Amino acid sequence: MAAMKGIKGMMMKPHSLIPIRNASRSSASFHNPWDDNSLQASLRNPWDDNPHHDTYNPNNNTLANANEFNKTKRFSLILPRSTESLSGMKKGKNLKKSGVILETGVVLLKNYVSVSDQVKIVNTCQQFGMGRGGFYQPITNNGGKMNLHMMCFGRNWDPKTKYNSKYRSDGSHALPLPHQLISLAETSIKDSQAYDDRMPSMDPDICVVNFYTSTGKLGLHQDRDESESSLKKGLPVVSISIGDSAKFLYGNSREVGKAKVVLLESGDVLIFGGKSRLVYHGVTKIIPNSAPLSLLQQVKLRPGRLNLTLRQY
Ligand SMILES: O=C(O)CCC(=O)C(=O)O
């Protein structure tokens, strides 16, 4: 099996990529939740409905009104890009779906999300990301800003309060988790079970959305703030990548030198659960200009990478 050519000159560990052979995607009865007519209705941010709606500010125990929110700088996923700026982007890409086990409990589904569904996910994240509870840069325990923009569906996560606060540090509530993302996570898990039949199923109720600009990073860490029972059962994390590719590290310790590396590209879904639920993982590099041209022709995603991780609390 030929090794996968990854980041400039770096050879990735060879894995056998097996075509996806599950029934759920290929059967005629497969229903694409993004085609649902109720899409628009279900993607409303209830906190945006009333422009005068007050939000609780836990920092000073007051209610901040919409005027305060309106003063905060929004982070937009969409940036106008000239056609010329896309001229150097990759055109031809083999978008065949395939899957591989990277470790027991770690399954990579390559090219799993179609470009048209990636566009819908970007638009959904943009819609919510620009509103109340949308993208912000969380503050770490050292007082610095995280090297990414984040928002959460279902339950807010924050480096200081973890999942335990009803309100985010800027006073906003958690956003409702779109059912299309729930369906995508459930289908991905089902498909991953064709590769690792011990991958547990789950009912996702949280989605952490991260956007990495070209200098974005995330240090090696474990995802261990979900409930004790969720962790104990090894309920998986389903990670969806869109936009520029990322050098993703994973391993049994926080030591970068000991970690394995895999390139996550637009449309890939990585699932880690079961024995590997507490695998250390992180992102050390975003590869500039690596997003597929077909995506950027349909949505003006700013340079960088969008990542969604679905979990069950
Ligand atoms: O961006 C990624 O691929 C990983 C995200 C992640 O580790 C997290 O949200 O905990």
Answer yes or no: is pLDDT of 67 > 70.
no
Tell the burial category of 141 from Cβ atoms under 10 Å away from its Cβ (0-12, 13-18, 19+).
Answer: exposed
Question: Residue ranges of the domains in the chain?
Answer: 73-82+99-311
Q: Which tokens is 73 given?
A: 């700088």
Whether 281 is in the pocket of ligand 1, judged by its Cβ within 6 Å, is yes
Whether 309 is in the pocket of ligand 1, judged by its Cβ within 6 Å, is yes
Phi-psi region of 13 (alpha: psi -120 to 50; beta: other; left: phi over 0): beta
Most confident of 86-95, 159-168, 213-222: 213-222
Phi-psi region of 51 (alpha: psi -120 to 50; beta: other; left: phi over 0): alpha
**What is the best residue among 231, 247, 283, 311 to mutate for testing ligand 1's pocket, by most ligand atoms within 8 Å of CB?**
283
Whether 283 is in the pocket of ligand 1, judged by its Cβ within 6 Å, is yes
Higher pLDDT, 52 or 154: 154
Phi, psi dihedral angles at 117 (to 5 degrees): -70, -35
Position 63, amino acid? L
* pLDDT for residue 3: 38
Position 197, amino acid? D
CATH number corresponding to 73-82+99-311: 2.60.120.590
Answer yes or no: is pLDDT of 51 > 60.
no
Answer yes or no: is pLDDT of 104 > 80.
yes
Q: pLDDT grade, residue 240 (50/70/90)? A: very high
* pLDDT for residue 59: 55
How far is 172 from 9, CA to CA, in rounded Å?
Answer: 44
**Would you mind telling me the total number of residues written for the chain in this entry?**
313
Q: pLDDT grade, residue 26 (50/70/90)? A: very low
Q: Report the predicted TM-score, pTM, of the whole model to 2 decimal places.
A: 0.85
How far is 276 from 260, CA to CA, in rounded Å?
Answer: 14
Q: Which of 66-80, 166-180, 284-298 shows the lowest mean pLDDT across its residues?
A: 66-80
Tell me the pLDDT of the chain averaged across its residues.
84
Higher pLDDT, 136 or 90: 136
Q: pLDDT grade, residue 11 (50/70/90)? A: very low
